[in-house]
Amino acid sequence: MNGLLVACILTPMVTAALSFIVTNTAKVRGAISIGGSILLLALSTILLYQVVNGGPVSNQMGGWQAPMGITLIADMLSAMLIVVTAIVALSVNVYAMGDISEDRIAGGFFTFLNMLIGGVVGAFLTGDLFNLYVWFEVMLISSFALLVLGGNKVQLDGAVKYVAINLISTVLLLTAIGLLYGLTGTLNMADLSIRVPEVENQALVAVVAVLFLVAFGIKAAVFPLYFWLPASYHTLPISVTAVFAALMTKVGIYALMRTFTLIFPGEHSVIDMTLLGLGLVTMVLGVFGAMTHNDIRRILAFHVIGSIGFMLLGLGLGSALAMGAAIFYMVHGILIKALLFMIAGVIGKLGASFELARLGGLYQERPGFAMLFLLAALSLIGIPPLSGFWAKLLIIEAGLHHDATEVIIFVVLVSLLTFIPLIRIWSEAFWKPKPFSTEEAKADTSDSKAIGPPVMPPNWYAWTPVLGLSIIMFLIGFLPSKIIAMSDTAAQSLINPSAYLDTVLPDRAAAQANLNEVQQ
Amino acid sequence: MEILLSLLVGVLMSVSVWMLLSRNLVKFLFGLVLISNVANLIIFKVGGLTMGAPPLITEGVTEQYANSLPQALVLTAIVIGFGLVSFTLVLALKAYQAIGTVNVDEMTLAEQRHDPEEKEESS
């Protein structure tokens, strides 16, 4: 028994409820929410410490032993991602205090944000496939609420597309889970990993695997299923976009990693080839999409898609080395996306617009802030010694190890191309002189005011998370060895899940006999 | 019964996919309602049908009983699906009121670029 896992899920959920019930005041709601995310960060750090020192931690809910009951389990991958989630949750909560309007907070912004975090943590922790579906739903319904909260026309228009595509992915996921249950008679992921190879009709297993690939692929915004993402992300307030961009797609990648290593393993299979191909196409299209846009939020939304491609590469190559690279990229990707969107938010506040044509002169006004953006952008591109460099280096190293020349060529090429849209933001928003005088710009953006967040000068609510995340990115960049080592351990336990299986099913043989008895 | 249910799943699935492909948002929604029910039927079917037996085990009675897990799964999925569908219906209504159309081809507000020059060109 370990209460820590339950506490990690309960903390955001209770915070969500409290921030709605206790008070109507926006500031107090925000304070409760920030308190909750600090607690989550503390709990998840303890959990990570336990996992690093003692291997996977598990908890059988309701006293039913696996595979009968629902299992919660934290291995290295889950524990790392929960800590990162908590960091993002904390910074978004602080940022939202200065960004989200009072009426949105009155509508329950912090409640839905915390429910979303709860859903993400639950999805990372669960060891049961149907439970994973339920956590995806928790995430989905809170993301819907955040999408339409305080909605204007454009926001509703983006929301319709997001909701439609995500509901289809939900139905596919449910169907896949149903079919897999029909084939194996179990939903516990550890138990599935033992039973799926025993299924006679492996062709049906392959069909189910593809259904999972499509369902999680939509969530993760993988080519050709990513069109909902650039259609909706830029319509939202920056705080919501930051948390969506950082976490939502990565949960899809996590689910892909979990299912395709634990339930449908097998190196050099067709699925691995497919994942590799999809990864290559996704990252190329992500970077080309970013080049075509003039709105900072849209440029960054396409970079989210591009980084999904890099993670898929690691999963597609399939070795522990490549998987470790993908996990490190995931940690880097979550943090850098949250940071870049918040920086974009600050740019929007300083320049009263997100359009590159309307921005300018920010370097002259705020040289320090300009440096922060430049460093975050260089980190995304992969310039040493920033964190993105290590992420890409690890993927190239894995590519060399597999003799996968195409992977190395694409990684280097796409990294170079990533330069173009980001340097465009730099030269347009920071370097060129300001296009209008401030009054003119403000009068001119009266129509785009409805689209972007209300124009307020950035205050310390905005600066604190930006600075904090930048410092974390620096630390990862200069001291990557600890996180690389942890990613490698996480990857090892994904490739060789015996520790995972032993934790969930302490007495595997006995559990098997028990289940057979029940089935007869 | 199993064959009948499988046929029903097939027919409903093809109907719902056809409706999902529609450009009319309302038709799309009905397709969504149908396809989520199809998923429930699939779980029900592949979980194994046991005719005329309750999913409860009475103490001392060792008669045939139905597997209760698929039923529990379907029940959960129905509840979740109900919530999502009602949310989507309200969203569609709101979108219709705000945008003035249910044709998804005309719902392009979020896709427009906000450059002032381009706006003039398009209008």
pLDDT tens by residue, A395-424: 998 888 888 888 899 999 999 899 888 888
d(CA B55, CA B57): 7
Which chain B residue has its CA at the smallest distance from A519's CA? B67
Task: Give me the torsion for CA of A513, A514, A516, B1, rounded to 10°.
Answer: -170
- Please give the average per-residue pLDDT across A119-141, as a whole number: 93
Rounded to a whole number of angstroms, the distance from the CA of A159 to the nearest CA of chain B is 8
Write out chain A residues lying below 8 Å of B20, CB-based.
Answer: 168
- Residue B116: the pLDDT is 42
- Residue A512: the pLDDT is 57
A453: pLDDT confidence band, cut at 50, 70 and 90? very low
- Could B99 and A157 be called an inter-chain contact, meaning their C-beta atoms sit closer than 8 Å? yes
Classify residue B7 as left (phi > 0), alpha (psi -120 to 50) or beta.
alpha
Polymer length of chain B: 123
Tokens of B41: 């039927």
The partner residues of A60 in beta bridges, in order of sequence, read A71
Give the residue extent of every domain in chain B. Answer: 2-51+66-112
- Please give the average per-residue pLDDT across A438-459, as a whole number: 52
- What tens digit of pLDDT does each residue of A194-241 get? 888 888 888 888 889 999 999 999 999 888 888 888 888 888 888 899
Residue A207 touches partner B, C-beta closer than 8 Å: no
pLDDT over threshold 50, residue A158: yes
Question: How many C-beta atoms lie closer than 10 Å to residue B100's C-beta?
Answer: 10
Geometric angle at alpha carbon A221, from A99 and A475, rounded to 5°:
60
Which chain B residue has its CA at the smallest distance from A149's CA? B91
Tokens of B70: 């698929």
Rounded to a whole number of angstroms, the distance from the CA of A207 to the nearest CA of chain B is 15
CATH 1.10.287.3510 fits B2-51+66-112, yes or no: yes
Tokens of A53: 């020192």
Q: Return the half-sphere exposure (C-beta side, CA atoms, 13 A cut-off) of residue B67.
A: 20
pLDDT over threshold 90, residue B16: yes
Report the residue from B38, B73, B110 with minimal CB separation from A130: B73
- Residue A267: the pLDDT is 55
- Please give the average per-residue pLDDT across B86-102, as a whole number: 87
pTM, two decimal places: 0.90
- Please give the average per-residue pLDDT across A88-115, as a whole number: 88
Write out chain A residues lying below 8 Å of B21, CB-based.
Answer: none
- Residue A511: the pLDDT is 56
Q: What is the mean pLDDT of chain A?
A: 85
Report the residue from A167, A179, A357 with minimal CB separation from B42: A179
- Residue B114: the pLDDT is 57
Classify residue A271 as left (phi > 0), alpha (psi -120 to 50) or beta.
alpha
- Residue A437: the pLDDT is 52
- Structure ipTM: 0.88
